[in-house]
């Protein structure tokens, strides 16, 4: 009996010693997260709509209705050129049109009474039509000297002043609609099958490195550039705060296959050639070497395509100290014992 008790005591002490010798590790649970395959590109931001308004004729500017960087609405008068001579021509043309119209009325009355021929009536009708056309032409010349905004947008810096004489074609101002931004970038023809209109993209600008700008592919050019073997893709990005400016260089990530998959921290995965392994800690506190099939990496985690179940505990720190089947202790507030030790003591 004595010898049995001694052996039992020695055996118990050996188990306790082995528990204390178990390496201390940190574990994390396998959990799901969103992974996205991407195609990377570099693109240039462009205004949704942009136009440079130029002087239609050579004339003096009498009024400018904008200041640097103003927002203007569609149809708003931007500039007015001198129209004094054209107004005089319009008054003269309108007077001739009235006179020709009155003369036509008289000829028509005479024709009804038989005192005028049809040919004289036709001739007077032609003269009246010519007079009306001349008045309309004079009115159009005045309209050409009033420059209006073709759409709503933001004007450029003003480089011209009231009183300046401009020649036909001289720039007055540029209007840009940047409420959404067009982003043009090139994609290799080998990736053409992976992109489509409506696909999500994420762009970043050097001016705002911590802010992603999300949008969608709007159009894919129908022709591939034979020199670069790439196709131009245009995406639309909302720009309510006008942080993105036309001409900016942006890096683009095209999201091709978004999915939700199981993941573990990258530190948990061990590579041996083409094989990948993790150490899974079971309820008994034993770390077992488990082969897994991995996918994408994102935010410090790696996608697990096969080999694990959600919730399984994998070793993230202390992996180098482990061998298959080794007992471990977990780091943390309750780490003085293997995972099963506390429950065993409470049950005893």
Q: Which CATH number is 122's domain given?
A: 1.10.287
Cβ–Cβ under 8 Å, residues 62 and 142: no
Same domain, 298 and 329: yes
Does one domain contain both 44 and 183? Answer: yes
- Total domain count, the chain: 3
**Structure-block tokens of residue 136:** 């309309």
CA distance 299 to 265: 9
71 within a domain of the structure (yes/no): no
Domain assignment present for 150: no
Residues 264 and 343 in one domain: yes
Residue 124, in any domain of the structure: yes
Looking at residue 138, its pLDDT comes to: 66
Same domain, 99 and 27: no
- The CATH number linked to 207 is 2.40.30.170
Clarify whether residues 246 and 305 are in a common domain: no
For 147, the enclosing helix (H) or strand (E) is strand 146-148
In a domain, 134, yes or no: yes
* 163, part of any domain: no
Kindly tell me the sign of the dihedral angle through the C-alpha atoms of 110, 111, 113, 114. positive
Verdict on whether the full-model pTM lies above 0.75: no
Residues 270, 341: one domain?
A: yes
- Asked if residue 161 belongs to a domain, the reply is no
Do 274 and 216 lie in a common domain? no
Residues 209, 283 within the same domain: no
Domain endpoint, select from 213, 237, 255: 255
Q: Let me know if residue 65 belongs to a domain.
A: no
CATH code at position 304: 2.40.420.20
- Cβ atoms of 245 and 174 closer than 8 Å: no
d(CA 274, CA 272) in angstroms, rounded, equals 6
Q: Are both 330 and 275 inside the same structural domain?
A: yes
In a domain, 102, yes or no: yes
Q: Are residues 266 and 244 in the same domain?
A: no
Look at residues 255, 281, 298 and tell me which one is the last residue of a structural domain: 255
Pick from 207, 228, 255: which residue ends a domain? 255
Specify whether 119 is located in the same domain as 94: yes
Helix (H) or strand (E) holding 255, with range, is strand 249-255
Q: How far is residue 104 from each of residues 97, 113, 198, 231, 347, measured CA to CA in Å?
A: 10, 14, 63, 64, 119
H or E element, residue 327 = strand 326-327
Torsions phi, psi for 253 (to 5 deg): -120, 120
pLDDT at 320: 86
247 and 277, same structural domain?
A: no
Residue-number span of the structural domain to which 99 is assigned: 83-143
Output the pLDDT for position 116.
75
In sequence order, what E strands does 30-83 have? 31-35, 38-54, 59-64, 71-72, 77-81
Q: Consecutive sets of 10 residues in the chain, 348 residues long: mean pLDDT of each?
A: 41 51 88 87 95 88 89 92 66 76 82 80 83 74 81 90 87 94 94 90 93 95 94 95 94 86 92 91 91 89 92 90 88 51 41
């Amino acid at each position: 009996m004595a010898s049995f008790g001694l052996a039992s005591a020695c055996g118990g002490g050996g188990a306790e010693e082995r528990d204390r010798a178990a390496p201390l590790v940190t574990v994390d649970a396998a959990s799901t997260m969103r992974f996205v395959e991407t195609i990377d590109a570099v693109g240039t931001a462009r205004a949704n709509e942009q136009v440079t308004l130029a002087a239609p004729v050579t004339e003096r500017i009498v009024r400018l209705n904008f200041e640097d960087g103003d927002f203007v609405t569609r149809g708003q008068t931007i500039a007015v050129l001198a129209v004094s001579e054209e107004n005089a021509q319009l008054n003269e043309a309108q007077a001739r049109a009235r006179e020709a119209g009155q003369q036509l009325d008289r000829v028509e009355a005479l024709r009804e009474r038989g005192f005028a021929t049809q040919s004289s009536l036709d001739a007077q009708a032609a003269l009246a039509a010519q007079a009306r056309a001349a008045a309309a032409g004079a009115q159009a010349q005045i309209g050409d000297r009033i420059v209006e905004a073709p759409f709503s947008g933001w004007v450029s810096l003003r480089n011209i002043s009231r009183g300046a004489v401009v020649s036909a074609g001289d720039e007055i101002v540029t209007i840009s609609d940047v409420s959404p931004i067009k982003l043009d970038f090139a994609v290799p023809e080998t990736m053409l099958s992976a992109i489509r209109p409506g696909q999500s993209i994420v762009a970043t600008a050097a001016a705002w490195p911590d802010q992603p700008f999300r949008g969608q592919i709007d159009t894919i050019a129908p022709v591939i550039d034979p020199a670069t073997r790439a196709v131009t893709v245009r995406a639309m990005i909302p720009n309510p705060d006008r942080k993105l400016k036309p001409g900016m260089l942006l890096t683009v990530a095209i999201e091709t296959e978004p999915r939700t998959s199981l993941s573990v921290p990258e530190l948990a995965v061990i590579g041996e050639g083409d094989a990948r392994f993790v150490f899974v800690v079971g309820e008994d506190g034993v770390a077992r070497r488990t082969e897994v099939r991995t996918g994408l990496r994102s935010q410090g985690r790696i996608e697990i395509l096969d080999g694990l179940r959600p919730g399984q505990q994998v070793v993230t720190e202390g992996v180098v100290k482990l061998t298959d089947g080794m007992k471990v202790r977990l780091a943390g507030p309750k780490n003085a014992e293997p995972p099963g030790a506390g429950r065993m003591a409470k049950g005893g």
